[in-house]
Amino acid sequence: MRYFIEFSYNGFNYHGWQMQPNAITVQEKMNSCVSTLIKKKIELIAAGRTDTGVHARQMFAHFDCEKINDLEDFIFKMNSFLPNDIFIKDVFSVNKDSHARFSAISRTYEYYISNSKQVFNPNIYTFFKKLNIDKMNEASLYLLGEKDFTSFSKLHSDSYTNICNVSEIKFEKIDENIMFSITSNRFLRNMVRSIVGTLIDVGTSKIQSDKINYILKMKNRSEAGFSVPAKGLFLTRIIYPKNI
């Protein structure tokens, strides 16, 4: 049978999701946990690869095994086995051809910025200059739709295409912080962090809003702005078809 795991994690202590030599990753911890519980070596396949230090409020991964008779007990044991910065919310059976990565319809990321020093919440990026949110939202509109995001992708990535379809994007004030959210069918490596850094350049009047269109057309990473730190980035929502 094929099972999906819905989970979340704080990425501070991990070098991203994907297994790496000589580095602690979320996949390593999860693989070990599930393999121990079902007494069979497995490798989880996740909905995506988060970079070092990036967090996930909602992530999914799938694995195959014989029928698990008591899923509630399985979830309890996983949460007992795993470190406190990884939380298993649910485990459920799906169709055999359902895939955590390729079946996903959309993904949403959020990025948090503060204009004041964060003493009690280190998972927010502090940017001390005042930002013009209206200008940043105006510039964001150039990123909507199906476009080539090569200029906002890490160089030498292994993506088969750099075309992504962004359906929602906005900045909004949340109490004393600024939240950026973006929804797309897929994301490239470093894409969200470089988009936020570039839009910050708009918010500080370093560049004009319409330069975003030029940056897209150039398909050159050096044309875009800096990449903001990973600590403010959260994968927050993944949507699948109802028939999985």
Catalytically annotated residues = 51
Residues 6+ apart with CB under 8 A from 11: 26, 50, 52, 53, 54, 55, 56, 230
Distance CA(78)–CA(36), nearest Å, equals 10
Distance CA(85)–CA(55), nearest Å, equals 10
**C-beta of residue 59 within 8 angstroms of C-beta of residue 47:** yes
3-class SS letters over 86-130: EEEEEEEEECCCCCCCCCCCEEEEEEEEECCCCCCCCCCEECCCC
